[in-house]
């Protein structure tokens, strides 16, 4: 009798459990995404923070970040479909718009160009004063690649100082900021245009270089401020089919940008950056994070297209007229950008 009762009891429990399993909806799986970053640079920090702080996860996204060796291979991956989104320079999207390629920007990642021209300390010491752009005349200046953003920016800055980059200086393409510093140490170059965090690493960290001009802190031509330096891009076809996913990505990154901008989070953000980009120079990384914190903003505007054209046209990388703002930027995402709040 007791055995029969026990069997009936277990059978009832099993039936009840089966009923619950049938009634319960299947657990929703996170949407898997591959987001490219054109180079492994701290300009991608908002994406790293969104991943490591769980902001993507909160939106139901399982994000993998993939680094590339420049804009062209990253853009090819986006067009080929192995990436769903790309963190790359706005100038890349302006070029693709002119070429009628279906790529569109849906938010800003970093507004100001975070770069600096640095000079070897032993050369600067001979001047007996703080170096100026005019002192670069006749020197060998390292950039990252011919026609790339650092190369074009260096040429623009030299021209504004009355220096012909073809006749009055020698621009030396060196792939990798760490290699630029090594080339300087070996005497192969005299100066370099570096992106963050390599300015603080070279100057404050190693103490072997000095700043000539630091656009990250607002020095140099105004063109480099609020220019839409790097943005989040996707294809128009993907966006048409996956608008809700794109909105989730934007919300998560805006949340990360706000987190970075909050001064009380500087130490945590610095630790995230050190983990992602290398931990050999913690002091320099903190300086880099603090300096850039409020440049990671989501807002786009039409003037950014004009500034990009002003940079590219004189260097023969694009021809007038500029593409229309709507052909580069999908401004329908602006309500999501506003979650960041006012820029301070």
**List of domains in the chain:** 31-112+226-340 (3.40.190.10), 115-224 (3.40.190.10)
Whether residue 22 has pLDDT greater than 70: no
- For the whole model, what pTM was predicted? 0.86
Question: What mean pLDDT is predicted for residues 267-283?
Answer: 93
Whether residue 16 has pLDDT greater than 70: no
Q: Which token pair is 65?
A: 């970040």
Residue 24: the pLDDT is 45
Opening angle at CA 136, ends 177 and 114, nearest 5: 40
Q: Which token pair is 343?
A: 């820029």
Helices (H), the chain: 2-23, 45-52, 55-58, 71-80, 90-98, 121-127, 149-160, 177-185, 198-200, 236-241, 243-261, 266-277, 282-292, 303-312, 325-328, 334-337
Express each pLDDT in 200-245 by its tens digit. 999 999 999 999 999 999 999 999 999 999 999 999 999 999 999 9
Whether residue 23 has pLDDT greater than 70: no
């Amino acid at each position: 009798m007791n055995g029969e009762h026990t069997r009936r009891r277990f059978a009832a429990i099993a039936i009840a459990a089966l009923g619950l399993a049938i009634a319960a909806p299947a657990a929703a799986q996170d949407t898997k995404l591959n987001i490219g970053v054109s180079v492994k640079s701290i300009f991608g920090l908002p994406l790293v923070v969104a991943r490591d702080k769980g902001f993507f996860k909160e939106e139901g996204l399982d994000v993998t970040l993939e680094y590339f060796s420049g804009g062209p291979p990253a853009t090819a991956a986006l067009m080929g479909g192995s990436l769903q989104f790309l963190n790359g320079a706005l100038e890349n999207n302006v070029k693709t718009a002119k070429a009628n390629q279906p790529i569109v920007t849906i938010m800003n990642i970093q507004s100001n160009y975070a770069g600096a021209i640095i000079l070897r300390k032993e050369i600067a010491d001979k001047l007996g004063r703080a170096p100026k752009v005019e002192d670069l005349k006749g020197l060998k200046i390292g950039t990252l690649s011919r026609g790339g953003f650092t190369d074009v920016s260096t040429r623009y800055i030299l021209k504004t100082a009355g220096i012909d980059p073809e006749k009055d200086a020698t621009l030396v393409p060196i792939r990798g900021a760490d290699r630029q510093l090594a080339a300087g140490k070996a005497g192969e170059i005299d100066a370099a245009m570096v992106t963050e965090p390599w300015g603080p690493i070279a100057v404050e960290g190693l103490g072997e270089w000095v700043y000539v001009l630091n656009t990250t802190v607002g020095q140099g031509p105004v063109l480099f401020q609020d220019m839409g330096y790097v943005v989040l891009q996707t294809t128009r076809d993907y966006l048409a089919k996956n608008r809700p996913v794109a909105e989730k990505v934007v919300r998560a990154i805006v949340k990360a940008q706000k987190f970075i901008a909050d001064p009380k989070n500087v130490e945590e953000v610095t630790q995230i950056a050190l983990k992602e980009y290398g931990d050999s120079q913690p002091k320099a990384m903190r300086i880099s994070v603090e300096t850039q914190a409020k440049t990671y903003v989501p807002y786009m505007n039409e003037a950014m297209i004009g500034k990009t054209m002003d940079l590219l046209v004189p260097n023969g990388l694009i021809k007038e007229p500029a593409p229309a703002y709507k052909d580069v930027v999908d401004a329908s995402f602006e309500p999501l950008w506003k979650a960041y709040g006012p820029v301070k």
